[in-house]
Copies of this chain bind each other. A is one copy, B any other.
Amino acid sequence: MSKIIKIAVVGYGYWGPNLVRNFSENEDVRIVSVCDLDKTKLALVKRKYPKINITTNYDSLIKDRSIDAVVIATPTSTHFPLAKKALIANKHIWVEKPFTNTESQARELVELAQKKKKIIFVDHIFLYTEAIQAIKRLILKKKLGRIYYFDSTRINLGLFQPDTNVVWDLAPHDISIMLYLMGEAPLSVAAFAHSHAIKKLEDTAYLSFKFRGKKSAHIRLSWLSPVKIRQTLIAGTKKMIVYDDLESTEKIKVYDYGISINKTSKELSTSGYQYRTGDIIIPSIIHKEALVNACRAFVDSIKTNKAPISDGMNGYLVVKIIEAAQKSLQSGGRPVGIM
């Protein structure tokens, strides 16, 4: 199928301009319309992209039967109603993260899309980075051995937002990466979050996950850190990985490190353990904007009718886990079951 996908973009705020720019550079796509309630923003669209229609009327927009897909980049609380209408109108949908405000909304959309045979693409953008793809390949090739843990830190100063907290804002990134790399969902989560600076606005959070077997995960999030860190450790029986998203050329380091019990040692002492500290390899990663890959993946999903890696089920799972985390942090950190 070589047909051009016709799309409409809804929401031209923080992320919308990136979506319009990227989709407009994708040869298989034509952006028919951009919709926003703010006419000043629509004027910006018109200035930069004179051929794209602009509108404030979403309901009439989705009546346009020539539109194949709707890209939703509006505030989270509006994702559900806008996505639902789009699916009902037989559109494929792209939804920014987090997918919805609640698990039940997410489930409803997933079921509706199944019924309508439409693609849901949740923009868990990090899954489309060359770095995460390279790590996933290493895991699939069993290079890491059995996974021990996933441990991620995503902290910086800002951007506080009044209508959400640091968990809903930042955790979708790490949870979607965690689900993708671990290849399974956690059993439970315990969450601690603190409103240090602004009343009732959690700016720092720690999520602890249990998985089947002895696997674990931990996510550390902050809007209130003097330093920006985006570092993830993933360790397995054979290899360990440090993924530093802020590095330009050395994003991934693969350590041939490990530990084993020293069978030859008679007594169980400190010397009863052997450490392997072999070479470290920094694989060459092609520098490419993740959004280019994500747009490509959305188009491919529509064309081939195959679910993307960040499909509705994936978006649903992320929301479900964040809801459980929210429940845990409101109970003071009690572990909450997920599966």
Q: List B contacts of A253 (CB < 8 A).
A: 226, 282
Task: With both chains docked as a complex, state the minimum distance between the C-beta of A178 and any C-beta of chain B, in angstroms.
Answer: 15
Complexed CA–CA distance, A278 and B280 (Å) = 14
Complexed CA–CA distance, A196 and B236 (Å) = 9
Q: List B contacts of A194 (CB < 8 A).
A: 149, 214, 216
Complexed CA–CA distance, A249 and B151 (Å) = 22
Complexed CA–CA distance, A190 and B282 (Å) = 36
Task: With both chains docked as a complex, state the minimum distance between the C-beta of A108 and any C-beta of chain B, in angstroms.
Answer: 29
A18 within 8 A of B: no
Complexed CA–CA distance, A303 and B241 (Å) = 46
Known contacts A281-B279, A334-B334; A235/B240 CB under 8 A = no
CB pair B270 A148 closer than 8 Å: no
A269 within 8 A of B: yes
Complexed CA–CA distance, A269 and B160 (Å) = 9
A53 within 8 A of B: no
Q: Which of A226, A269, A277, A283 has the most CB of B within 10 A?
A: A226
- Chain B residue at minimum C-beta to C-beta distance from A213: B196
CB pair A218 B206 closer than 8 Å: yes
Identical subunits present = 4
CB pair B282 A279 closer than 8 Å: yes
Can you list, as one digit per residue, whether each of A250-279 has a CB less than 8 Å from chain B (1) or not (0)? 100101111101000000111011010111
A233 within 8 A of B: yes
Complexed CA–CA distance, A102 and B258 (Å) = 32
Q: List B contacts of A335 (CB < 8 A).
A: 332-334
A34 within 8 A of B: no
Chain A contact residues, majority secondary structure = strand
Q: How many residues of A contact B (CB 8 A)?
A: 64
A208 within 8 A of B: yes
Kindly identify which residue among B149, B218, B275 contacts A157, using a CB–CB cutoff of 8 Å.
B275
Kindly identify, within residues 283 to 339 of chain A, every residue whose CB is under 8 Å from any CB belonging to chain B: 283-284, 332-335
Q: List B contacts of A261 (CB < 8 A).
A: 198
Q: List B contacts of A240 (CB < 8 A).
A: 225-226
Chain A to chain B: the 9 pairs with minimum beta-carbon distance, closest first: A226-B240, A226-B255, A280-B282, A148-B196, A192-B208, A194-B216, A162-B268, A160-B273, A190-B333
Hey, which bits of chain A sit against chain B, CB under 8 A?
Answer: 50, 148-149, 151, 157-162, 190, 192, 194-198, 204, 206, 208, 214-216, 218, 220, 222, 224-228, 233, 235, 237, 240-242, 249-250, 253, 255-259, 261, 268-270, 272-273, 275, 277-284, 332-335
Could you name 17 residue pairs across A and B whose Cβ atoms are closer than 8 Å? A151-B220, A157-B259, A158-B259, A158-B275, A162-B270, A190-B333, A192-B218, A198-B273, A224-B235, A224-B259, A225-B235, A226-B235, A226-B255, A253-B282, A278-B284, A279-B284, A281-B282
